[in-house]
Structure 1
Amino acid sequence: MNTPTMLRALPADHRQRLMHIPREVSFPAGTRLFDEGARADRFWILRTGSVELDTRVPGRRTAAIETLGAGELLGWSWLFAPHVWHLGATATTPVRAYEFDATAVRSMCGDDPDLGRAVTQWVGEVLAHRLRSARTRLLDLNAPYGAGGAV
C-alpha cells in the first residue's frame, strides 16, 4: 500500500490553503535533511527526486527503512509533540520540494478544525504506513531467515 499523497488525502480547498505557505527548495544528492532526535520544525512535499528514510540500530550501521518519491510527504514528526524527528532522511538523488513551516501549519490547523482533522488524518495514515515499513525492514535485517512469516 502506498502512502496517501496530499492530492488524494486532502479536499481541494484544504490543499489550496496549505499551498499558500510553502517555499520551493532543492537539495543535491547526498544532503542530510534531518537526523533522529533533532527538532522537527518543517516538512516537505517532494516534487522530484528521492529521499531515503533511515533509523539508527544499536550496534549496527544506520538501516534504510523506505525510499520516498514525487508527491510524497517527507516528515510527520512536526505534527505530534515533542516535535522531534523519529527517523533520519537523506536525498539519494537531486530533490525539488515544497517546504512547509510546521508552526504555521499547526496554527492553521488550530484555527480551522476541519483543516486540522484532514491534515491529522492524512499524516496519521502516512505515519501508519511508515511504521509498517520500519517494522518489516527491521524484521528483514534482524530475524533469522524464514522467521518473518505472516503476522
Structure 2
Amino acid sequence: MTKATKLLPALPPPQRQLLMTAAREVSFPEDARIFEAGGTADRFWVIRSGSVSLDQQVTSVQRVTVASLGAGDLLGWSWLFPPYQWDFGAEAFSPVRAYEFDAAAVLKLCEEDQQLGLILVRTVAEILAHRLEMTRGKLMEQYGMRRRSAL
C-alpha cells in the first residue's frame, strides 16, 4: 500500500505559500462535530495536531467510523466537487488544531494561479485514491473475517 500523501508538503513552496494566504488557525475540542453528511461543503482543513474520525450514519442512532485522520491530513474534499455537500460526517476524536481554508477563496486563488489549481486537484485526487485503497483493504479484511467465522 502506498504512503498517504499530505497536502501541504505536496505543494511546491510558491503554491504552498499562496494557499496559506487563505488559511486561518482553528481548534476543535474533543468530541466536537466538525461537519455532518449532507451539509454545505464550503471549507476544508489541514490537521495540525489531534485526530478526527470520518463517519457514516448507518441507522438513526449508529455511526460507523470509515477513516481516522491525524496531523498533516486533509479533512474535507467535497468543497471541490458539485453538489458541494459533505459525503461523511467528521468528529474530533481528541482536541484538534487545524488550518481552515475557505473554499471560495481557494478556488479564486486557483483561477489566478492555474498551476496551484492543477497541483491542488491532482494532490486531492491522489489523497482520495489512497483513502479508497485503504477503505477497500478494510472491507476485504472484514469480508474475510466474516467468511472465516461462517465456516
Question: Would the TM-score normalized by the shorter structure come out above 0.5?
Answer: yes
- Offset, 1:147: 4.6
Deviations 1:28-50 (A, max 9, x none): 00001011111100000111100
User: In angstroms, what is the RMSD of aligned CA positions?
Assistant: 2.1
Q: For structure 2, which runs of at least 5 residues remain unmatched after alignment?
A: none
**Contact 1:65–1:133 (Cα < 8 Å) also in 2:** no
Q: Name the SS of the counterpart of 1:81 in structure 2.
A: coil
- The alignment of Structure 1 onto Structure 2 pairs a total of residues equal to 147
Structure number with the higher helix fraction is 2
Structure 1: runs of 5 or more not aligned: none
Percent identity (aligned): 48
Match of 1:145 in 2: 145
CA distance in 2, matches of 1:82, 1:53: 19
Q: Tell me the TM-score normalized by structure 2.
A: 0.87
> Are the aligned partners of 2:7 and 2:124 in contact in 1 as well (CA < 8 Å)?
no
Per the alignment, residue 23 of structure 1 pairs with 24
Contact 2:110–2:117 (CA<8 Å) still a contact in 1?
Answer: yes
Q: What is the TM-score of this pair, normalised by structure 1?
A: 0.87
Deviant stretches of 4+, over 4 Å: 138-141
| Secondary structure, counterpart of 2:78 in structure 1 | coil
Alpha-carbon distance in structure 1 between the residues aligned to 2:66 and 2:145: 19
Separation in structure 1 between the aligned mates of residue 140 and residue 85 of structure 2, nearest angstrom: 24
* CA deviation after TM superposition for structure 1 residue 58, in Å: 5.3
Equivalent residue number for residue 83 of structure 2:
82
Q: What's the offset of the Cα at 1:146?
A: 5.8
Measured in 2, the distance between the counterparts of 1:94 and 1:36 equals 21
